[in-house]
């Protein structure tokens, strides 16, 4: 059985979408995989309450003096599940190159923009401020450079008159919930994980 570990920081709706998909028709089980654990860097992450039926852990970044120490503790927690895939799902910490290299080929992120446009934060407001007519989300491999790495899937949504960052984020999020499980299935079917 291939283990998947999901890292979250906030509401965890992408994580919940993956777990829901996994429970529907034993989707992941048929691909020989399971969500083994959800790990949050925030004890108060609302998403933790939704991580039903899987192991839950908190590695609180505030307990560590440096980014390196936090990443070492996180790596220790993640590795205890021997993961074939590590999914960043609204995980809002920049990861050190050592951490990223350790999971090379099995570390995936979802980002709320059409990369390479709008890396980093406040993607929806920046898309609106730029006058973009479309926005979207990208699932990509994680490399040491923030929000770079091979693009695995993208979803495009229209920007409509009257959109705010919040309305656009909600429209994009519904698409994120579709493309992230699709990419996981593709990777499990095609990659040597």
Q: Pick the piece of the chain touching ligand GAR (CB under 6 A) from 19-27, 32-40, 67-75, 110-118.
A: 110-118
Residues 18-47 touching ligand GAR, rule: CB under 6 A, are 47
Chain centroid to Cα 47, Å, comes to 13
Cα dist from 78 to 21, 27, 105, whole Å:
22, 23, 15
d(CA 164, CA 149): 29
Of positions 4, 5, 6, 14, contacts ligand GAR by CB under 6 A: 14
Q: Which is nearer to ligand GAR, 169 or 185 (CB)?
A: 169
Cα dist from 7 to 44, 58, 61, 114, 152, whole Å:
14, 10, 13, 22, 19
d(CA 114, CA 123): 9
124 catalytic, yes or no? no
Minimum distance, C-beta of residue 54 to ligand GAR, in the bound complex (Å): 15
- Choose the catalytic residue: 111, 124, 140, 177: 111
**Which residues are known to be catalytic?**
111
Instruction: Tell me which residues touch ligand GAR (CB under 6 A).
Output: 8, 10-14, 47, 89-90, 110-112, 137, 173, 176
């Amino acid at each position: 059985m291939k283990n998947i570990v999901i890292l979250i920081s906030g509401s965890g709706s992408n994580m919940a979408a993956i777990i829901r998909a996994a429970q529907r028709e034993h989707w992941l089980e048929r691909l020989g995989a399971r969500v083994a654990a959800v790990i949050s860097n925030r004890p108060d992450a609302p998403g933790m309450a939704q991580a039903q039926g899987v192991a839950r852990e908190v590695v609180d970044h505030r307990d560590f003096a440096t980014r390196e120490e936090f990443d070492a503790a996180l790596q220790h927690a993640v590795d205890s599940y021997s993961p074939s895939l590590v999914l960043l799902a609204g995980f809002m910490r920049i990861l050190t190159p050592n951490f990223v290299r350790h999971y090379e080929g099995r570390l995936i992120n979802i980002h709320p923009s059409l990369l390479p446009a709008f890396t980093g934060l406040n993607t929806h407001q920046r898309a609106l401020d730029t006058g973009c007519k479309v926005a979207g989300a990208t699932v990509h491999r994680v490399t040491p450079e923030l929000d770079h790495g091979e693009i695995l899937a993208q979803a495009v949504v229209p920007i409509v008159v009257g959109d705010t960052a919040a309305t656009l984020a909600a429209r994009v999020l519904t698409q994120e919930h579709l493309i992230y499980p699709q990419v996981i299935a593709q990777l499990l079917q095609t990659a040597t994980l």
